[in-house]
Amino acid sequence: MSAEATNPEAAPTDVAVRRRGRARIDLRRLGRAALLNATAGPAPRDRLPDAIGHVAEAHRAHHPEADLTVLGRAYVLAESSHRGQFRKSGEPYITHPLAVTLILAELGAETTTLTASLLHDTVEDTEVTLDQVRREFGDEVAYLVDGVTKVEKIDYGAAAEPETFRKMLVATGSDVRVMSIKLADRLHNMRTLGVMRPEKQARIAKVTRDVLIPLAERLGVQALKTELEDLVFAILHPEEYETTRALIADNPGAADELGAVAEQVTAVLREAGIGAEVLVRPRHFVSVHRVRLKRGELRGCDFGRLLVLVAEDADCYAVLGELHTCFTPVISEFKDFIAAPKFNLYQSLHTAIAAPDGAVAEVLIRTHRMHKVAEAGVVALGNPHVGQEPDGSLQGSDDGERVDPTRPGWLSRLLDWQQSAPDPDTFWTSLRADLAEDDEITVFRADGSTPGTISLPVGASCVDAAYAQHGEAAHACLGARVNGRLAPLSTVLGDGDTVQLLLAQDTVSGPSPEWLDHARTPAARIAITGWLQAHPESAAPPAAPTDPRPQPSVPADRRPGAELHADLDGEPPAVVRPAGCCTPVPPDEITGFRVRGGSVTVHRTRCSAVDAMRGLGREPVTVRWGDTAQGRVTLLAESFGRPGLLADLTEAIAACGAAVVSANVEPPSEQRVRHTYTLHLPDVAGLAALMKAMRDVPGVYDVSRAHHTRGLG
């Protein structure tokens, strides 16, 4: 199957050089074979119908031991049910399922996928029922056929297309072969789109661009993705397409220039004793267009890349070492997707080398297995209901569980959020936005729960992580610790970050409208929007102090603190009071200093003011605690802002028997609020219990003793 595109309205001579040697099958020839089969009756039991011979040949190339009997039965049912139907291009309709099946066969799809592909339009367009397919071909084939069958337009009206894609995606969540068939189906339809009206071509091309191409990229089916890109490029950007096509046609020697570099690379690897196959891969049209925009004027080597195929993973790095030793490497072009595979299963080493004549060639280095997965993605992985042994043979899992490496994080996220988007327009808009993300990151959960990782799109914030981990329970999220440090919910996460989400215990808390500014994933945006619509009062800005100066909410009183005594070597007794910067209480270690007026101020020994006093030459005064158990202390409470937090804190303080002398609340900053309380304790022995009670208030993440910097008198 070709990965190069043609203009849908162009003549066959306009076809660019193809990646594979197999020529595209002539649909008219397939149509004639189908009509001959229809008039000649069924083929003998010991051989396949002529029209499916090309499929059988391609299938056996990947699966030599495959049983082709079921393909013959599927073709007979498909041909007989579609008999008399014609495509708008004039060919018998059976040529479409044949072409779709051939695309998948050339990618290496297994027999069940090809069987379903032959039958994929029968339930939708003929009298064949799903039960009939199930009886004759089994549950798996029936599931795949049902997954790609469109919903009835008479039932869904304008929502039929979004709901059809929703149905396919849900089915893909259980079996990715559903989307493989859909992608091949769309590719063949795009190849023959030239018979449609221009406006319909544009509409189909836009959906292909926004939905199908990103899905092909995420499923790793590069062979389908690149040709779909070129076909969309030709329809939506005809002028740029023609410019690119002419540019390729005007540089017929590009392959020769790359071929010369390939010969040099082959010689170097042969001398090093590394068995490798070096191929020249022409770029497809969109790739050439992108390189032209990036580099301006193109040289011969810019029209393609070298592909080096080896047997083992270690050989990839051996090739890389030889290339970087014998040629001048372009270090900025080096990428290691073997040690860190892409989220769509893609693995390769990418580099670029400068040949002695100055030509720079990009090089892809991969094993044959990596190449198969890079081209065919999930199609190459076969049946997701069985595991794969290291030697490539398939074997079922012992516990009956589905072993499916093709269920990546992006698909799980998509399946989760689509349940919260019952409105087709919301689903359709969110789907396109979700698929527009080009890459994803993995963050680790700090709570040790399973699974231990969360997959998110690049640019996701703590808000997205909260909804990915906790669903609607994330409405009560107050903040997060990122890599062990407190961080606001707006923090953008990086690949490999460790995240701990902090949730309130009450059910009153909810998201603020500002969360939408930091939400990248549809799951988060849909959940936040739904909560805000259900709680319109929360959309109003929260009441917060507008004066940046501290606002005392409780006036100071004159209740005495703990009893303090100072030893002044026979001098008259002085007023001894605790310092306001650190508010010592028994049994803190304390140090006193004389201040203006002859009084003594008492600090905690570790207070920074003690070192400052000594630096000024002040002599410390011996002080000690008296017998009184009461005391006064200043506490700082660090919290995430939420409604009712101040009331909950003062209630917790009162429950511990402490009295509020004064309280200051600073204006919120990045969703965090600092409270300063000066409290009178009837018994300072209860300080630890008081601080714990304050920390237990939802939204409070730290309570500490105050340590202000004040004038030293």
Decide if 263 is catalytic: no
Burial of 456 (0-12, 13-18, 19+ CB in 10 A): buried
In 3D space, the residue among 620, 427, 595, 593 whose CA is nearest the CA of residue 525 turns out to be: 427
What are the phi and psi torsion angles at 259 (to 5°)? -60, -35
What are the phi and psi torsion angles at 237 (to 5°)? -135, 65
How far apart (Å, rounded) are the C-alpha atoms in residues 32 and 38?
10
Which of 26, 65, 121, 125 is labelled catalytic?
A: 125
Task: Please calculate the CA angle 606-608-613 and round it to the nearest 5 degrees.
Answer: 105
How far apart (Å, rounded) are the C-alpha atoms in residues 8 and 89?
12
Q: Which residue is listed with tokens 């803190």?
A: 588
How far apart (Å, rounded) are the C-alpha atoms in residues 486 and 675?
17
Beta bridge partners of 279: 307
Query: In angstroms, what is the C-alpha Rg of the chain?
Result: 36
In Å, what is the CA distance from 321 to each residue of 291, 352, 353? 26, 12, 12
Q: How many CB atoms lie within 10 A of CB 239?
A: 7
Q: Is 196 helix (H, G, I), strand (E, B) or coil?
A: coil
- ω into residue 97 within 30 of 0, thus cis? no
Decide if 124 is catalytic: yes
| 489 neighbors 462 (Cβ within 8 angstroms) | yes
DSSP 8-class letter at 669 = B
Q: Is 697 helix (H, G, I), strand (E, B) or coil?
A: coil
Burial of 21 (0-12, 13-18, 19+ CB in 10 A): exposed
What is the rounded (10 degree) CA torsion for 537, 465, 217, 303?
100
DSSP 8-class letter at 327 = S
How far apart (Å, rounded) are the C-alpha atoms in residues 639 and 701?
6
Q: Is 424 helix (H, G, I), strand (E, B) or coil?
A: helix
Which of 50, 124, 313, 666 is labelled catalytic?
A: 124
**Active-site residue numbers?**
124-125
